[in-house]
Chain A
Amino acid sequence: MKKILLILAILSAIITGCEKGLEPEIYGSLSPLTFPATENEYELYTLVIYVPFSSKWPYEDGGTKYHFFGLEEGHVQLIDAPTDIMAIFTAWGAGWQRISEGNFELFEGQGRNRSHFEKIRFVTRTTKIIADLEAATIFKDETFKKQLIGEARMARGWTMYRLLQMFGPVPVITDPEKIGDQEAEADLTTPARADYISTIVADLEYASENLPEAPSDYGRFNKGLALTVLMRLYLNEKDFTNAESVGRDIQALGYSLVDDYASLFREATERNTETIYAISCNPASQGRGPDGNFNAYSWYTFPNDHPDFPGWGGPSAPFMASWEFYYSFDTADERRAPLIDSYVAKDGTTIRDSSNMEGAIINKYPPEGPNAYQGNDIVLARYADVMLMLAEAINENNDGPTQEAIALVDSVRSRANIGPLPAAETSSKDAFNDAILRERGWELYFEGQRLFDLRRHGKWPSAVSAVKGKDPSPSSIYPIPQYALDDGAEQNPENTN
């Protein structure tokens, strides 16, 4: 009997619902049900839009991703290195070599990890952020809200502009209603170019109207940047009228050339009257996630036997100026000074020069400071560029150079301590155009402009083929990667056989 009692005792259970006490336990993250709620949280929610515009080692975002202006697969490697102004580089495998030759075939084989095409997802993310900001009712300060929306739209417009330059118009989601709709998110139909352009224009115009000229955090997007990118868009789209008009808006912002060209790229003088926008770098950064932005170009520009600063590449560095480009300078041109054409190697005897180097060392961001990496800000927009673009637009709009246009170019030249353009180069629209293209190379090398300039001037691939070792693709538009084609994207016409 007692045994039965005991069994009953053990079996006598307390009745509880079986689902209770098994709720999820989530730490180290925030719930979409409660975040974002305050102005400060909305700001932190918005600021992720800066991630692709940072300068660090590649980042993780559902796989390894490359920054637009990072060291690898950034603007220097993708926009300058393939062109006539930079040398080929063979030591680090096919990826580096083929891009440096001006050949983009391998982009077709790039996976989701590497390809910039994945940035179409980032456009969706910014669309969501913009919509959430617009719907937010907690802002007491409407100007602040508009500034945040301006930053997000700057990021979206700039991303779409970069993608356009790389791949042509790409599928994007700019309508927040489509987010979360699996069918819409899988729809990779290429949009009409005009629609795509007008979205970018609307974003950049909004940004230019709502971003401050000088944000309190130096390095956040500003009004001048929005206008400069908008001007580049119009120029590359050959909408010279609008390009000229935006150029004049930028002129009104009061930027001016600095006297010393080299000072633009030095840490001490990186904030100046000419630089419109630069990635603000922390000299102590090692380029990892928790660090600030860094500038590590010297490791990629100096050969590894250099006595003062041995870089990573080899006897030839990944980023060098082509000898053809080096010799194209007027010897008096101060802009050639950052290019080093010879040195005595670390062993104290070997002389390194054009006979045994692929190209000249690009010392535009000289290694400074005690750390492994540098703090020199990475210049992405400056007034000299705007002046040359404006000259180009005026030339096109007037079917030939005006005095104003010539003066714009000459003042850029004069700052570099060389004389005005010779008469022959201002004698016709075409001659002036050619002169501007040359001038842009000398002025803006290593700033990620060249490929777009050559394309706009109809010099791709001819200008590139003229340089030793180059093997340019027929089109400067990159092929859309195979994985995206498998997902249903269409190959762009430039890469359709």
Chain B
Amino acid sequence: MKHLFKIKFYLSIVFALSIFSENFAQMTVSGKITSAEDSEPLPGVNVVIKGTTSGAISDSEGNYSLNVPSQESVLMFSSVGFMSEEITVGNKSVIDISLTPELTALSEVVVVGYGTTLKKNVTTSISKVDPKGIPNGAISGANDLLFGKAAGVQVRQYSAQPGGTVELSIRGRGAPLIVVDGIIVPADALEAGINHSEINNVKRGNLGGVNPNDIESIEILKDASAAIYGVNAGNGVILITTKKGRIGKINVNYNANRSWQRNLPYLEPLQADEHMKLYNRFQEDRYLSENDMQPFGPNAPSGFVPRFSESDIANNTTNTDWVGLILRDGSIDNHNINISGGSENIRYYVSGGYFNQIGTVENSDMKKYTGSFDIAFDISKLFTLNAKVIGSRSNFNNSVAGWQTGGAGANGFTALQAALAYPTYLPIRDPNTGQYTQFQLIGNPVAQLDIKDQSLNNTLLVNTSLDINIIPNVLKGKIVYGNNLEGSFRDFFIPSTTNWFDDYRARASIQENKRQRQTFESFMTFNKEIADVVTINALAGYGEYIENRFDFGVQSFDMNDKINTTNIDGSPSNGFSNKDRNKQRSYIFRGSFDFLDRYLLSAAWRYDGFSQFFPESKYASFPSLSAGWKISNEPFLNIEAIDLLKLRASYGTTGRNLPSGVAYGIYTPEGQVISFNDGNSNYVAYVLSQIDHPDLTWEKTIMQNIGIDIELFNSRMSGSFELFRDDVTNLLRYGNRAANTEALSAIARQPVNGGHQVRTGLDAFVEADVIRNNNVTWNLQVNVSHYKYRWEERFKEDDKSTFLNVDDPVRAIYAFETKGILQLGEEAPEYQPVAAQVAGAPVFVDQNGDNVLDSADVLVYDQTPKISIGINSIFKYKNLDLGIFLYGQLGSYKQNYSLNWANASGMLISNQSGTQESYNAWSTENPGGELPGSTYDEALLGNIGNTIGWGSDYTISKADFLRVRNITLGYTIRSNQLKRYISDLRFYVDVQNAFIITKYKGADPEIESPGVKGAAAPYPMVRSYSLGLSVNF
């Protein structure tokens, strides 16, 4: 079999044979092609002499001309979106024709890996999203286009900061493979860190480079259809196709909008006097309970001294609104222009974009410039050269929202965290000294705004390819070279006047990360109908992919605040660097067969090699098979109303290689520098951090899918329904998540393959033109998905104490159920943990009634939503359009750590200054409180029964919600008055994140908020009001 892989295509040989011509002309036919709808000329129509491969393409005025061999010749006219026509030449030398637009969606073209196909012939699970009509006012990235738009695609707003992470997942699988015009680009954003400190304030990533305005369509390969990308397609594939130029007159589109942004309700801190009184209450409860004093115990109360005296409270005049000082209103200015067009031999598309966002948190903003250039040039009938460049540059001021990492305490709080923890009774500056006030370990929130934290991110995607029309419409070759370059530069400085991490000290960090991914591919496609029985579509290709990464950074101290990072010469510094490179090689084959326009069969095979594995484990094959049956084309089902009824099934394997690291043994520099002699004698030691792993190999996902597609009433209604199952086998554990080794092994964790996870579910999609009149149309789309994601087999290396049942959900949270709060005088159940046997503690539930709390009483909460839903409605009346888009989820649980801002015992150790939700905490004055009182500290629970690290469920909340993503009202003017200058003009107003229906308390059910000391302060969710216009010249 190996000889098959020994094929490589060489550009030079191809060029050597590029001189080519045809001459069998006998007579000339010409004419003009127009649209039957509006009589406008149609450029770019294919005119082919039936039974031959010769033909012509209409020019920008719709004119065509070609030589035909005889009067019997039949001309076939075809163009995307129009019904094809056939005309016998006869004695005519001029043939004008008008083509009828194809109303049916059946003719829709769908991009699949390495080619396109008609939607009606798709045998796998592919969703297509057309960005037209999706409001683009307050969005900066392509991911934003996908909220609730396709069945089986979950989109989650991870962070609302400018350019914030919008997490994509196909069927709940995790980051998919992203392919832009055939070039694989990394799914995660490249972000330089601060190699200094322990904060997590940047959560960005949104296909940074591609301007959403430049996107023509987005296809989502959800099942074995992804297998053609074998490698790393285990999470599915998202294909982004950008706009291209078309033959025709020059088209200029300009669209601009302005958005005003406001934070949705955030955590609401206590006023100064509220804080003082509540603190005293909590403090006294704690004191009385600890000393067994009434009402908690038998002793008479004595000796309690409240932290804030009556006069402290009465005389306090300061009430600093710290959160108000950190949050603000924001805005976005967004301008985009694109120019496209083409003549017979050349087609072009040029665009530019400017996006300027003032964030809703102080210091956070983003200026993004995008540009793209696309040109297709027909060198000869044989060769078409394509070149595309997409570039972007983003300047960020990084947000002061977020949280500390690395187990740091309140001394590492970000400004927004500090604002929620800093006492409201303290002023910004000490009136006597003029210096910033300082409270315990918490940095003054306003002083933290003096920290400089900027990022400059660049992306450049260059995509060049040569199409070789060996036999027009039958045999094509393509050679592709793509280069995706990214850079991220971070400039960070803490001035000496800001207390941070217990120190007033000038600290700087400069870091740069670079990443490059090169693609070289060549492939051939063959497309032929044989004897009206079978249409064959075949593909064979070869690809090589090289990934490079280089990061370096330096941190410095004690420089002058004014000079800061601009000149660190002589400042005590230390630095780091890191280089990575890997290579992948692939062989790609696919054959699709369409028998009698009824039976569809497609088989694909991809064979991938990866440099970082051992030779014996380097290569893996990824086969797939799919089949479809167009029942509606069978003679026995000749029902007028049914346009299409198709059954389909697919089976295939996808994989994942090692995203970082190697399978080989290595000595790495020990991060702990060995230091003697008061730090004057330092050694970088080397430690054997990994041994050879010759067996380490690809993770494989077997994807199975069955589905039914239906289209009714002249495409007025369509839908699909599908069931799927993924078996993720041979899972890779590497890096920080590497598996435990034998207990006495010198190396504690090593990369392994193991385990087995199963993901099952269904996707349903229905679309209908509920109303379809001359003046009024109402289009409604609903998609619903249901998933289950569980373990089938665990890693044998995993600790038993980390899970309950072998087949628990992969995203499980384990906790003991609690019901209500233990009241004064109420007897604690016998099994109640020691730390919870005090009034104010939650009452634990002994599920099996054996009077002992142990693993048998633990509940499993699944973070994977049971139901995800998206609803899109577009209503049009004459020139007016109204769009409403909603998405949501049901049946998911989340650790709601933002409740910790209202933690009563947390207030006593000054990690929190309390929110309005603190009034919901139990106290002797508030026996109805639903949150535990200050007498209870979850951290004191220790291990319950035979379990390790599982606590109560009081911070676990249901994360159900339904969000109204957009309400858009637009008006389009197509007046003849305008027509001399512009072809159409559209105004619109849009509200993004109009509102959310949820019972979730806290920051937001969607955004990330992990458990840290104190609590996290994620970037608030924002609502945007946009005003925009789009004009075509």
Binding site for B on A (CB under 8 A): 2-3, 5-7, 9-19, 21-32, 35-36, 41, 43-48, 50-51, 54, 56, 59-63, 91-95, 97-98, 105-106, 108-109, 111-112, 118, 120-122, 124-125, 128, 171-173, 179-180, 182, 184-188, 217-220, 280-285, 289-293, 299, 304, 310, 312, 314, 371-372, 375, 377, 482-484, 486-489
Q: Say whether B683 contacts A121, CB under 8 Å.
A: no
Q: Say whether B502 contacts A13, CB under 8 Å.
A: no
Given pairs A47-B685, A489-B743, 14 additional interface contacts (CB within 8 A): A14-B8, A17-B6, A25-B583, A27-B581, A29-B666, A44-B685, A48-B685, A48-B687, A92-B909, A173-B744, A184-B744, A217-B681, A280-B678, A375-B679
Q: Say whether B742 contacts A291, CB under 8 Å.
A: no
A31 to chain B, nearest CB (A): 7
Q: Say whether A109 contacts B949, CB under 8 Å.
A: yes
User: Which residues of the other chain, A, contact B691 by a CB distance below 8 angstroms?
Assistant: 32, 180
Q: List 21 A-B contacts (CB under 8 A).
A: A18-B609, A22-B610, A24-B611, A25-B611, A27-B581, A28-B577, A29-B669, A30-B666, A44-B684, A45-B686, A61-B748, A124-B745, A185-B741, A188-B744, A217-B676, A217-B677, A220-B676, A289-B671, A314-B910, A372-B503, A487-B743
Q: Say whether A18 contacts B5, CB under 8 Å.
A: yes
Q: How large is the interface on B (under 10, 10 to 19, 20 to 34, 35 or more residues)?
A: 35 or more
User: Which residues of the other chain, A, contact B935 by a CB distance below 8 angstroms?
Assistant: none
Q: Residue B667 at the A interface, CB < 8 A?
A: yes
Secondary structure call for the A interface: loop
The listed residue (B505, B666, B668, B678) touching A375 by CB distance below 8 A is B678
Distance A171 CA – B745 CA, assembled complex (angstroms)? 12
- A-facing residues in B928-962 (Cβ within 8 Å): 937, 939-943, 948-949
Distance A312 CA – B677 CA, assembled complex (angstroms)? 28
B140 to chain A, nearest CB (A): 34
Known: A26-B662, A299-B502. A186 touches B744 (CB 8 A): yes
Query: Quick one: which of A36, A62, A111, A182 has the most chain B CB within 10 A?
Result: A62
Distance A292 CA – B665 CA, assembled complex (angstroms)? 28
User: Which residues of the other chain, A, contact B800 by a CB distance below 8 angstroms?
Assistant: 486
Distance A95 CA – B799 CA, assembled complex (angstroms)? 21
A144 to chain B, nearest CB (A): 15
Distance A14 CA – B9 CA, assembled complex (angstroms)? 8
Q: Say whether A11 contacts B675, CB under 8 Å.
A: no
Q: Say whether A10 contacts B468, CB under 8 Å.
A: yes
Query: Quick one: which of A13, A105, A284 has the most chain B CB within 10 A?
Result: A13
Distance A488 CA – B674 CA, assembled complex (angstroms)? 34
B735 to chain A, nearest CB (A): 11
User: Which residues of the other chain, B, contact A482 by a CB distance below 8 angstroms?
Assistant: 801, 948
Among B67-75, B116-124, B470-478, the stretch that binds chain A is: B470-478
User: Which residues of the other chain, A, contact B585 by a CB distance below 8 angstroms?
Assistant: 18, 21-22
User: Which residues of the other chain, B, contact A290 by a CB distance below 8 angstroms?
Assistant: 574, 671, 673
Query: Quick one: which of A26, A30, A50, A186 has the most chain B CB within 10 A?
Result: A26
Among B14-22, B451-459, B646-654, the stretch that binds chain A is: B14-22
Distance A109 CA – B524 CA, assembled complex (angstroms)? 60
The listed residue (A7, A17, A28) touching B470 by CB distance below 8 A is A7
Distance A31 CA – B662 CA, assembled complex (angstroms)? 12
Query: Quick one: which of A15, A17, A47, A489 has the most chain B CB within 10 A?
Result: A47
Q: Say whether A291 contacts B673, CB under 8 Å.
A: yes
Query: Which residue of the partner chain A has the closest CB to B411?
Result: A312
User: Which residues of the other chain, A, contact B811 by a CB distance below 8 angstroms?
Assistant: none
User: Which residues of the other chain, A, contact B314 by a CB distance below 8 angstroms?
Assistant: none
Q: Say whether A10 contacts B14, CB under 8 Å.
A: yes
Q: Say whether A218 contacts B678, CB under 8 Å.
A: yes
A-B contact count (CB 8 A): 279
Q: Residue B315 at the A interface, CB < 8 A?
A: no
Query: Which residue of the partner chain A has the closest CB to B438?
Result: A310
Distance A54 CA – B691 CA, assembled complex (angstroms)? 26
Q: Say whether A22 contacts B746, CB under 8 Å.
A: no
Q: Residue B441 at the A interface, CB < 8 A?
A: yes
User: Which residues of the other chain, B, contact A47 by a CB distance below 8 angstroms?
Assistant: 674, 683, 685
User: Which residues of the other chain, B, contact A487 by a CB distance below 8 angstroms?
Assistant: 743
A488 to chain B, nearest CB (A): 7
Q: Residue B440 at the A interface, CB < 8 A?
A: yes
Chain B 480-522: CB-based contact to A (< 8 A → 1; otherwise 0): 0000000000000000000001110100000000000000000
Q: Say whether B6 contacts A13, CB under 8 Å.
A: yes
Closest 7 CB pairs of A and B: A282-B679, A62-B748, A93-B939, A292-B679, A292-B675, A185-B742, A219-B676
Distance A436 CA – B411 CA, assembled complex (angstroms)? 42
Distance A220 CA – B9 CA, assembled complex (angstroms)? 61
Q: Say whether A18 contacts B2, CB under 8 Å.
A: yes
User: Which residues of the other chain, A, contact B671 by a CB distance below 8 angstroms?
Assistant: 59-60, 289-290
Chain B 532-555: CB-based contact to A (< 8 A → 1; otherwise 0): 000000000000000000000000
A133 to chain B, nearest CB (A): 14
User: Which residues of the other chain, A, contact B909 by a CB distance below 8 angstroms?
Assistant: 91-92, 314
User: Which residues of the other chain, A, contact B663 by a CB distance below 8 angstroms?
Assistant: 24
Distance A92 CA – B800 CA, assembled complex (angstroms)? 28
Known: A120-B744, A282-B679, A482-B801. A35 touches B667 (CB 8 A): yes
